[in-house]
Amino acid sequence: MHEATILMWLVVIGALAFDYINGFHDTANAIATVVSTRVLKPGTAILMAAGLNLLGAVVATEVAKTIAGDIVNASMATEAVVLAAVLGGIVWNIITWKFGIPSSSSHALIGGLCGAAIMHAGPDVVHWSHLTQKVLIPLVASPLAGFILGGAVMVIISVLFARAHPHHITTFRIPLIILGSLALLFVATKVFHFAYEYITVPKEKIEAKDTITPLFLLEITGIAFVGVAMITLATAGTSGMFRRLQVLSAASMAFAHGQNDAQKSMGIITLALVSNGMLKEATVPTWVKLSCAIAMALGTSAGGWRIIKTMGHKIIRLEPVNGFAAETAGAAVILTASHFGMPVSTTHCIAGSIFGVGASKRLSAVRWQVAYNMVVAWVLTLPAAAAFGAIFYLLLKISRI
C-alpha cells in the first residue's frame, strides 16, 4: 500500500476547496430564477440547494469516472499535474465570480487538467477523442439543448393555459389528484419495501434486483416529482400553481447540479489516488464521495450573489412560469448528461434554458449583449484555465514540492 504524500494531501485539500468555490460560484444555477421571481427567500433557497446538492452528489459516479480515466492518461497524471489543474480551475472561477460572469466551473477544471498534463508530458497525454466526445461536443450541444427545450416547454405551457383563468383550474382536477396520489403511494411503497428488506434480511441474501442503485433513486425521485406536480396542478389556480411548481423545478435543478458538478472533484481526487498507486482502478471511494458532497453543500450555503443577479435579472425579466420552464429544461439536460458520464456545464445548461424561455416570447425579450458576454467567457474558459494549469505546474516543478 502506497502512503499519501504531501502533494497527495494538497490535491485533496485543493479539490475540496474547488468544490466549495464551485458551490457558491454555481449556486445561481439552481436558485437564481426561484429567487428573482420571489417564490423563495434567498436564505431558504440556498438551504434547499445545499441539501439537494449534497444528495445529488452521492447517488452516481459516472461523471467522476470520466474525469478520472477518459480525459488524460492516468499514468501520466502525477500529483503535481492534478494539483496544478485544481489551482488553475480555482483561479479562473474566482476571476469570473469577481466580475459576476456565469462561466463553467466544469470546463475550468478540465481546462486546467489538460494544460497541466500537456506541460508535463506533451499533447499526446490528452485523450483527444474522448475530450471531443464527452466535453467539446456537449459544450456546444448542452446549451443549445437547453435553449430548444426551454423554449418548447414555455410554448407548450402557453398553449395549454392560454385561456385558463389565473385563479381557477377545474378541468381534470379529480383525475390529477388520483394519479398524483397513486404516484406518491407507489414511491412510499417502494421505499418501505427496501427499508424492510435491509432491516430484516441478511445482507448476503439480498438479491441483486433488490439493491438500491443510483438509477433506482433517480426513478423514485422522478415519480415523486410527477406525483407532487399533479396534485399541485389540481389544487391551485395558474397564478399559484407555477409558484409551487417552481419550487419543485428548482429542487430538481439543485439535485442535477450536485449529481454532475460535485463529481468533477471526485474524479480529480480519484485520478490522484490512482496516480499515487493508492487505487488500482478509477473507482470512487466512499470517503471521496462524502467529502466532495459536503464541501459543495457548504459552498452552496455561502451563496453567490453576483452571479445570481446576472442569471436571475439581467437575461430576461422572469415570472414563476418562466422560471419553472427554464429549470425543468435545464435539469432534464443535466440529468441526461450525467447518465452518460458527460461533465457538462450546469451554468451553460440553465443559461441556455433561460434564453430559450425568453426567446419563446419574442427575440427582443432577451438581453443579447448579456448573452454575448457570457458566450465570450464560455469560449475563453478552457484555454484560460489550461494556461493557468500550465503556469501552476511550472511553478510546482520549480519549487519541487
pLDDT in tens, the chain (401 residues): 455 578 888 899 999 988 888 777 666 566 766 777 777 777 787 778 778 878 888 777 788 888 888 899 888 888 899 999 999 999 998 888 777 666 777 888 999 999 999 999 999 999 999 899 888 888 888 889 999 999 988 888 777 666 554 444 445 555 665 666 667 767 776 666 666 666 665 655 555 444 556 666 666 776 777 777 666 655 555 556 677 777 888 888 888 888 888 788 898 998 888 887 888 887 888 899 889 888 888 887 775 555 555 544 455 566 778 888 888 888 889 888 888 888 888 878 888 888 888 888 777 666 777 677 777 777 888 999 999 999 999 999 888 65
Of 240, 234, 271, 316, give the one whose Cα is nearest residue 33: 316
Please write the tens of the pLDDT for every residue from 49-67. 778 878 888 777 788 888 8
Q: Which residue has the cell 424561455?
A: 357
Q: Is 199 in the same domain as 248?
A: no
Q: Is 299 in the same domain as 211?
A: no
Of 230, 246, 268, which one is at a domain's C-terminal end? 230
Do residues 301 and 50 lie in contact, with contact meaning Cβ atoms separated by under 8 Å?
yes
Q: Tell me how many domains the chain contains.
A: 2
Of 208, 230, 252, which one is at a domain's C-terminal end? 230
Find the domain containing 392 and state its range: 6-169+236-399
The three three-digit cell numbers of residue 17, written as one number: 476547496
Distance CA 126, CA 133 (A): 13
Q: Is 282 in the same domain as 308?
A: yes
Distance CA 101, CA 25 (A): 10
Distance CA 29, CA 43 (A): 15
Q: Is residue 160 part of a domain?
A: yes
Q: Which residue has the cell 481546462?
A: 111
Q: Is residue 393 part of a domain?
A: yes
**This prediction's pTM:** 0.75
Q: Is 28 in the same domain as 12?
A: yes
Q: Is residue 1 part of a domain?
A: no
Q: Is residue 254 part of a domain?
A: yes
Q: Is 212 in the same domain as 253?
A: no
Q: Is 104 in the same domain as 253?
A: yes
Q: Is residue 11 part of a domain?
A: yes
Q: Is residue 248 part of a domain?
A: yes
Q: Is 378 in the same domain as 240?
A: yes
Q: Is 201 in the same domain as 324?
A: no
Q: Is 19 in the same domain as 144?
A: yes
Q: Is 309 in the same domain as 380?
A: yes
> Residues near 133 by Cβ (< 8 Å), separated by ≥ 6?
none
Q: Is 187 in the same domain as 296?
A: no
129: burial class by Cβ within 10 Å (0-12, 13-18, 19+)? exposed
Please write the tens of the pLDDT for every residue from 94-144. 888 777 666 777 888 999 999 999 999 999 999 999 899 888 888 888 889
Q: Is residue 345 part of a domain?
A: yes
Of 210, 230, 250, which one is at a domain's C-terminal end? 230
Per this entry, what is the length of the chain?
401
Q: Is residue 270 part of a domain?
A: yes
The three three-digit cell numbers of residue 43, written as one number: 436564505
Q: Is 179 in the same domain as 131?
A: no
